Structure 1
Amino acid sequence: MFHRLAVHFISRYFADMAVLFSPPMPHLPSDDITGLGVLFRLKQNGFGAFPARCFYEPVLSLRALGRPLVVAAGPEAIKAVLSTDAASFQRLRMGRRVLSPIVGEGILVSEGAVWRRQRKAMAPAFTPRTVPTLARHIAACADMTLPRVSMEKPVDVFSLTQTLALDIAAVTMFSMTSETFGTQLRTMVTSFMSGIGQPRPADFLLPPSVPTLTDWRRKRFRRRWVALIEAIIAERPKIGAQDDARDLFDLLMQAFGEEGGVAGQAVVDEVATMIVAGHETTATALFWAVWLLANAPEWQDAIAEEVHSIDLSSDHAAAALPKLTVTTAVVREALRLFPPAFMTGREAVNDVELCGRSTPGGAMMLLPFWMLHRNPELWENPAAFDPGRFLNGKEPERFTFLPFGAGPHVCIGAQLAMTEAVLVLARLVQLYRFTAVDDEPVLPVGVLSTRPSRSVPFRFFPRRSNG
C-alpha cells in the first residue's frame, strides 16, 4: 500500500507527461555505419556505438573487415541468444581477452563444466534465505557511512557510492572491512575501466593467439592486481576446517581451495570477480538513481514520504524491504535507463536462424540491453525517467527488461544488488535532501559498466534531525 502522498504525487505528476525528466544521451551514429565503425565507437562509449535503426530492426547484420557482426536488440532475438537457443551461442572471445586481466578465469568469462562448477559453488551464498543477513550487513554499512556525508561542501556522489558499495561487498562477501585496501582497489578498477579495459577493435577481430600492445599492458596489470587480491585474502580471518561457512569466501575455499597457491587460483579469480562486479555495478546504479532523483525532486519527496516512518536499522532492514515500493521502482527505472551491464556479447557456434535471418557460424553477436530498455515499440515515453511504470503491480515483459541479463548466465548476484541499492537509497533519502551543484550535462559512458561522463558534485541538506 502506497502512502497517501505518494499516491497523490503519482496521479498529479503524470497528469502532464511533458514534465518528466529525460536525461541527455550521447549522439548515435548514422544508420549506414559499418561493423568496423561500431567496434571503434565501442571503445569510447557503448551508448553511442549503435545506430537508431537498432530500435526497430531486431537483428542488424553488419561486417567488420569481412567478419559478420550482428546486433541483436529486439526482445525475441535476445531471448533466442540468451535462453531458448543458448546452446547455439558461446561467450564472445573478446570478453575473455578484455576481462581476464581483472577476473582471471572467474565466472564472468568461464564456460561449460568450469562455469557450472563455479555457479554451483557460489549459489548457496545468493539464495533468498540469505537476504535477512545481507540486509543487516548492508544497513549497518550504510549507517556507518551515510550520516557522515558532508553538508558543508559539495560531495562527489560517485566516489561516495563506490566507497560504500566496496565496504558492503567486503563485509557481505568476505567478512572484512575495506579500510586498508579500499582506496587501492578503487584506483586500480578505475584505471582498468578507463584504460586497458576499453575494448579495441583488435580485441574483436584478432584471434587470441595474436597478441597486441594492449594485451602486454593487461598482463602487467594482471600481475599487480593478483598481488593485491592475494594480499587481501591473506588478511582475512580464517575459520577451522570443520566450521560452517560464514560467507562467499568460505564457500569458495571449500569448493576450490585446494587448487594450488595460497588460496587457489580459482578462489583468487572469484574473489576478484565478486569485488569488481559486486561493487562496480551497485555503485553505478546508485549514482544514477541519486542523479535522477536530483533532477526529479518530486520523486525524491515521494521516497522521503515512503521512508519517513520506516525503521531502516540493521535489525529491521529485511522487514522494511517489502514496504519500499516507491524506492524499488526508482531503482528499477534507473536500471532501465542506465543498466550497469549495458551490453553483452556472444558468438554463433554454428549457422543459425535468428528472427528469420540467417546468422553464420562464427558471427560476433552484440546485445545492447540499453537499447532494448529504450525501445519505443516496447516502452511508453522510453527516454523519460518514469518510475511509475514499475508501480501498481505493473511488470514489463520478461525479455524487455534485462538489467541482470537472462538465461543460464543471468547475474547470480541480482538479488543482492537490488537489496543493496534499495536499502542504501532509502536510507540516503531518509537522511537528506540533495541537489546537484550544477546543471551541466552528465552522459552515460558504457565501457565495461555504465559510468558518468564526469564527476558530479552534490549538496546535501538534513531532511530531519534524527535519521
Structure 2
Amino acid sequence: MDQTALKNIPAHVPLVKEPWGILRTLQAARRNVLEILPEIATRQPIVSGKTGKRWHMVMDPDTLRHILKDRLEDYPKSDVTKNILRPAIGESLFVAEGTHWRWQRRTAAPVFSHRNIQNLAPMMTTAAERCAERTEKSIGRGVDFYEEMVRATFEVISDVTFSGDEGFDRSAMHNAINSYIDQTAKISLLDILGAPNWVPRPSRILSSGSMKQMKSVADEVIDRRREAATKETPDLLDLLLEGEDPETERKMTTAELRDNLLTFIVAGHETTALTLAWALYLCAFDPEVQNRARTEAQAVLGNRAATAEDCANLPYIRQIVDETLRLYPPAAMLSRTAQKPDTLCGREVRAKDTVILPIYALHRNHLLWDKPNTFNPDRFADPRAINRYAYLPFGDGPRVCIGASFALQEAVIILATLLAKFRFSTIPGKTPKPVMILTLRPEGGVWLKVEKA
C-alpha cells in the first residue's frame, strides 16, 4: 500500500504474511494477540492451521451464525479463555456453560431491561458532566483521553453498581482489575501447546493475592447491602439481589452475585472506555467527521450534557460509535472449542479443535466491507444494510453481551457531551497503537489536544 493511502487509514495492526512457529507465535501473542492474525484472514472466509493444536479462524457470517446461534452447545468458550477469566470472575455468566449459564442468564436479563438502563442514565449524565469539567481545565494542552475515559466510565459503573456504599474502596478495586488484565490475561506457552487445565500457569498463580482482596471487598459490600433498606432507584446490585430465575425461583448466592458483579464491572467500564477513547481519536483523525458530529450534538444539547432521552436524536454520534466498534472492537478475538466433528466453510473440523472468531479480521474483511480499513461512519446510516453476523462487537446469539444497550447508551451520552463542548486534534508522534491482551487497548494512550468548540 502506498504512503498516500496509508495516511488516510487510522491506527491499525500490520498482520502476519507468513506462517510462524510456536515460539514466535507465543512471543507475539504475549505482546499483542492481534499480531498472530494472518493477513489472509481479511480476504478469506476461513483460515486453518496448526500451532501446537489444530485451529480454524472463521470470518464467514453464515458460519459464524452456525457457531454462535445454531450450534451453541457444540462450541463452548475455549479452555484458554476460561483459564484466563475464571480466577477473576469464577463461574459467572461470561464463563459458565450449559444449565449453570442458562439460569444465571434468565436471572440477570431483567436487570438490563430498557427501563432499568434508562433509570441508570442520570449517573451517566453526571459522569459526562464531571468529565467535561476536567476537560475544560485542560484546554490548550494535551490529554491522555484513554486514561480520562477509563476514569469516566469507572465512575459510571461504580455508581450504578455500588451506589450509596461510601465505604467501598473504588480505587483499590480499579487497581486490582488493571493489575489482573496487565499481568494474568496473557496467553501462556502451556495454552498454545494445549496443556491440560490442571497444569498451573505461573503468572496466574502470582496474581491470586490481588484477586482474593478484590473478591473480599465485593463480598463485604454485598453482605452490607442485604441488610440495607431498599432504595427508591435501585442500582445493579439491588436489582441482582432481588432477581431470581423465573423457572426455578433460584437466587444468586453471595459468591455468584460477586462473580457476576465483577464481570459487569470489568466488562462494563473497560470496554466502554476503550470505545470512547478510540472514538475521540478517530474524530481527531478526521476533522470533517468531528465537525459534523459537533453540529449535531450542539443542535440537540446546546451547552448541557446529554441524557438518555437525547440518544434517539443523535444518530450520527451513534454511527461514530458503531464504526469505532467495527475498527477497534474491545473483544477483538474470541475462541471456542469444538465438541463434535463438524464442517465449517467446507473445512473438516474435529472434536477439540480450536475455532477462533477473529472479530478484528472479520470487521476488516474485504469480502464483507468496502475499503474496510478506512473510517467511515456513514456505513451505519442504515443499520439494516449491515449483515448481522459480519459485525459482532458484542457477539451474537443466545450469549450476546447482556450489557450491550447499557454500553451504547453510555458511549453516546459521554461522546456527544464532549463533542458539543470541545474540539480535539491529534498530536504529532502520539499515534496510539492497537494492542490486544484481554481487550483492544491503545498502547501509549490516546493523546489529543483540546480546544474550546
TM-score, normalisation: structure 2: 0.90
Question: Which region of structure 1 is more displaced relative to structure 2, 279-288 or 20-29?
Answer: 20-29
Question: Which region of structure 1 is more displaced relative to structure 2, 410-419 or 248-257?
Answer: 248-257
Query: Does the C-alpha gap of structure 1 residues 362 and 177 become closer, same or farther in structure 2, counting only changes over 3 Å?
Result: same
Query: Which of 144, 157, 164 pairs up with 1:156?
Result: 144
Query: Does the C-alpha gap of structure 1 residues 24 and 404 become closer, same or farther in structure 2, counting only changes over 3 Å?
Result: same
1:293-332 matches, cutoff 5 A: 293-311=283-301, 317-332=307-322
Cα deviation for residue 393 of structure 1 reads: 5.7
Query: Which of 429, 437, 446 pairs up with 1:447?
Result: 437
Give, in whole Å, the separation in 2 of the partners of 1:408 and 1:309. 38
Which residue identity does 1:22 align to in structure 2? I
Question: Which region of structure 1 is more displaced relative to structure 2, 101-110 or 285-294?
Answer: 101-110
Query: Does the C-alpha gap of structure 1 residues 124 and 462 become closer, same or farther in structure 2, counting only changes over 3 Å?
Result: same
Q: What secondary structure sits across from 2:9 in the alignment?
A: coil
Q: What secondary structure sits across from 2:185 in the alignment?
A: coil
Q: Deviations over 1:251-299 (max 9, x none)?
A: 32234899999x6111111111111010000000100001111111111
User: Do the aligned partners of 1:95 and 1:345 also contact (CA within 8 Å) in 2?
Assistant: yes
State the partner residue of 2:217: 228
State the partner residue of 1:48: 35
Cα deviation for residue 33 of structure 1 reads: 3.0
Q: Deviations over 1:59-106 (max 9, x none)?
A: 2221233x3222222223322211122222111111111111221221
Count of residue pairs the alignment pairs up: 444
Give, in whole Å, the separation in 2 of the partners of 1:240 and 1:178. 15
1:217-296 matches, cutoff 5 A: 217-233=206-222, 239-240=228-229, 246-255=234-243, 264-296=254-286
Which residue identity does 1:82 align to in structure 2? L
Q: Deviations over 1:170-194 (max 9, x none)?
A: 2223334789633323322222222
Question: Which region of structure 1 is more displaced relative to structure 2, 68-77 or 252-261?
Answer: 252-261
State the partner residue of 1:9: none
Give, in whole Å, the separation in 1 of the partners of 2:277 and 2:229. 39
Give, in whole Å, the separation in 2 of the partners of 1:312 and 1:102. 42
User: Do the aligned partners of 2:326 and 2:391 also contact (CA within 8 Å) in 1?
Assistant: yes
State the partner residue of 1:138: 124
User: Do the aligned partners of 1:245 and 1:251 also contact (CA within 8 Å) in 2?
Assistant: no
Query: Does the C-alpha gap of structure 1 residues 312 and 341 become closer, same or farther in structure 2, counting only changes over 3 Å?
Result: farther
1:38-437 matches, cutoff 5 A: 38-65=25-52, 67-149=53-135, 150-152=137-139, 153-176=141-164, 181-204=169-192, 205-233=194-222, 239-240=228-229, 246-255=234-243, 264-311=254-301, 317-391=307-381, 395-437=385-427
Give, in whole Å, the separation in 1 of the partners of 2:103 and 2:15. 40
Cα deviation for residue 31 of structure 1 reads: 3.3
Give, in whole Å, the separation in 1 of the partners of 2:145 and 2:81. 29
Give, in whole Å, the separation in 2 of the partners of 1:419 and 1:312. 19
Structure 2 stretches lacking a partner, 5+ long: none
Give, in whole Å, the separation in 1 of the partners of 2:23 and 2:339. 21
Q: Percent identity at matched positions?
A: 28
Structure 1 stretches lacking a partner, 5+ long: 1-16
Give, in whole Å, the separation in 1 of the partners of 2:134 and 2:305. 21
Give, in whole Å, the separation in 2 of the partners of 1:391 and 1:367. 26
Question: Which region of structure 1 is more displaced relative to structure 2, 352-361 or 219-228?
Answer: 219-228
Question: Which region of structure 1 is more displaced relative to structure 2, 424-433 or 178-187?
Answer: 178-187
Query: Does the C-alpha gap of structure 1 residues 47 and 212 become closer, same or farther in structure 2, counting only changes over 3 Å?
Result: closer
Cα deviation for residue 363 of structure 1 reads: 0.7
Give, in whole Å, the separation in 2 of the partners of 1:360 and 1:249. 42
User: Do the aligned partners of 1:312 and 1:320 also contact (CA within 8 Å) in 2?
Assistant: no
CA RMSD of aligned residues (A): 2.9
User: Do the aligned partners of 2:306 and 2:414 also contact (CA within 8 Å) in 1?
Assistant: no
User: Do the aligned partners of 2:44 and 2:365 also contact (CA within 8 Å) in 1?
Assistant: no
1:13-28 matches, cutoff 5 A: 21-28=8-15
Q: What secondary structure sits across from 1:90 in the alignment?
A: coil
Which residue identity does 2:215 align to in structure 1? V
Query: Does the C-alpha gap of structure 1 residues 385 and 216 become closer, same or farther in structure 2, counting only changes over 3 Å?
Result: same
Give, in whole Å, the separation in 1 of the partners of 2:383 and 2:68. 26
Cα deviation for residue 21 of structure 1 reads: 3.5
Cα deviation for residue 245 of structure 1 reads: 7.9
Give, in whole Å, the separation in 2 of the partners of 1:237 and 1:18. 58
State the partner residue of 1:3: none
Which residue identity does 1:308 align to in structure 2? Q
Q: What secondary structure sits across from 1:195 in the alignment?
A: helix
